Amino acid sequence: MVIMAAAIFGAGLLAQTQDQKTSATQKTETIKVWGNCNMCKTRIEKAAKAEGVARAEWNKDTKMLTLVYIPSAVSSDAIQKRIAAVGHDTEKFRADDQVYNSLDACCHYERKK
SS3 20: helix
- pLDDT for the residue numbered 113: 72
Vertex 89, ends 84 and 93: CA angle to 5°? 65
- pLDDT for the residue numbered 54: 97
Let me know: does 108 contact 36? Beta carbons within 8 Å.
yes
- pLDDT for the residue numbered 12: 54
- pLDDT for the residue numbered 38: 97
**26-107: CATH class:** alpha beta
Backbone dihedral angles phi then psi of residue 29, each to the nearest 5 degrees:
-145, 145
Q: Where are the domains of the chain?
A: 26-107
User: Tens-digit pLDDT profile for the chain (113 aa)?
Assistant: 656 555 555 555 444 444 444 456 999 999 999 999 999 999 999 999 989 999 999 999 999 999 999 999 999 999 999 999 999 999 999 999 999 999 999 999 999 87
DSSP secondary structure code for residue 105 in this structure: G
- pLDDT for the residue numbered 18: 45
- pLDDT for the residue numbered 19: 46
